[in-house]
Structures are given as C-alpha cells and as structure tokens.
Amino acid sequence: MSIFKVEIDAIDSKTKEGLDKASELSVNPPPSRLFLSCLETCIDNYNSILESKQKILDVVSVGDADQVSMELSFNMENVFA
C-alpha cells in the first residue's frame, strides 16, 4: 500500500467524522438560520471531498501528477469554503 493511499484514507476518515458531526448538529434545533446554513455548506463540502477520493486514486494509479494536483486543490477549496 502506498503512503499516498494511506494519506488519502486518513483524509477520508477525518472528512467522514466532520460530516457526521455536521449532520448531527443540523438535525438538532440550531440556534439560528445562519448556523444551519453554515452547516449545510459544510455538509455539501464534505460530500464533495468524499466523492473525489476515487478520482484521486485513479489518477494516481496512472501517474497523472497534474490531475492529482488539481483534485487535491479542489479539495482544499472545499475545506476553506
């Protein structure tokens, strides 16, 4: 198993933890609509990161460094959105 795959799996695991927490908070009555809106944005971004995992692994397997960089950059944009 490559170190890169281990790192991608770690990102996947932590993203799932964040998604679970955001989902849990969104079903409890939020203190405000703004808070709920922020949680919905987090949930959307976490889902986008999870969906890109297989794309990243596929482009790594064919050695497309430019595409890997683009996919990882996309994930970073979702983290900081």
pLDDT digits (tens, 9 = 90+) for 39-74: 999 999 999 989 888 888 888 888 888 888 888 887
Residue whose pair of structure tokens reads 């430019």 in the numeric block: 66
What's residue 23's pLDDT? 93
Residue-range domain boundaries for the chain: 3-80
d(CA 30, CA 41): 14
Inter-residue contact 18 to 70 (CB < 8 Å): no
Residues above pLDDT 70, as percent of the chain? 93
Full-model pTM: 0.77
Both tokens of residue 29? Answer: 């009555």
- Quick: pLDDT tens for 1-21: 588 888 889 989 999 999 999
Which residues make Cβ contacts (< 8 Å) with residue 43, sequence separation at least 6? 19, 22, 23, 26
* Mean pLDDT computed over every residue of the chain: 85
